[in-house]
Structure 1
């Protein structure tokens, strides 16, 4: 007879041991994920970070004008050629698309809702403060630039 046999004969003991083993496994996986820096909630930390993301998305894209959402979930940028780039959170990374028209633009006070020609990119609402109106007005010219 082993030392555990009397414990295993109790009705709830097996269940308790399984629960403790499961909890230990969950804690070990959580520790491993944290150690590997998996997941998380990425934010655009600064203007330099937003510029880096823009250049990664479109090689050579150097923003002249840039506004970052107050929560850091996205940004909008314009370069000297008039190209407009929308950057947004996508999982634990960032994705970017070039805006080609003002069709998906909606202004609501300090919030600017934007969508691109790519339906998989989805819509994003950026809290740009006072800059939301400035961007909304300037984006009306996007369709005219392409004509």
Structure 2
């Protein structure tokens, strides 16, 4: 008896490689976790929206630092602060937190209009740019830091 061709199965089934299923499941899990993080407002970019925010960030950077004068960057990413003893701190956004340094004699500043560029003198911290009121007076204060001792 001649063999006939196999008949098509009316209940079509497709064999899927398990690696594809693992990949697809992982991809779905990533999107679910990303959606949950966004819904819970995790991560993101913090801003220094007010002088109180900048003072709080300064206190986190240097315990006990209490600013008496604050210059906020217009974009909320950086600030300059001065305390009662004349120490000047610069704060910048670093990921989803803020980092800051009290400026020492190695620091310098340049001004272009309302934009001030502060070179902290620390290669690992880098420089900070911000648009702030009174940029020229802040630059003068930074450039006048006692070159014989830290501010």
TM-score bracket, normalised by the shorter chain, equals 0.7 to 0.9
Query: Which whole-Å CA distance do the structure 2 matches of 1:66 and 1:145 have between them?
Result: 25
- 1:27 matched to 2:50? The reply is no
> Which blocks of at least 5 consecutive residues in structure 1 are unaligned?
10-14
Query: Which whole-Å CA distance do the structure 2 matches of 1:103 and 1:51 have between them?
Result: 21
Q: How many residues align?
A: 138
Q: CA RMSD in A?
A: 2.7
TM-score (norm 1): 0.78
Select the residue among 130, 138, 142 that pairs with 1:139. 142
Q: CA deviation at 1:131?
A: 1.3
Q: CA deviation at 1:80?
A: 0.8
- 1:6 matched to 2:9? The reply is no
Q: Is the 8 A contact 1:106 1:114 kept in 2?
A: yes
Q: CA deviation at 1:25?
A: 2.8
Q: Is the 8 A contact 2:48 2:76 kept in 1?
A: yes
SS at match of 1:48: helix
Q: CA deviation at 1:34?
A: 2.3
- 1:119 matched to 2:127? The reply is no
TM-score (norm 2): 0.76
The one-character-per-residue Cα deviations of 1:78-110 (angstroms, maximum 9, x if unpaired) are 011010000000000000101113643111111
- 1:41 matched to 2:41? The reply is no
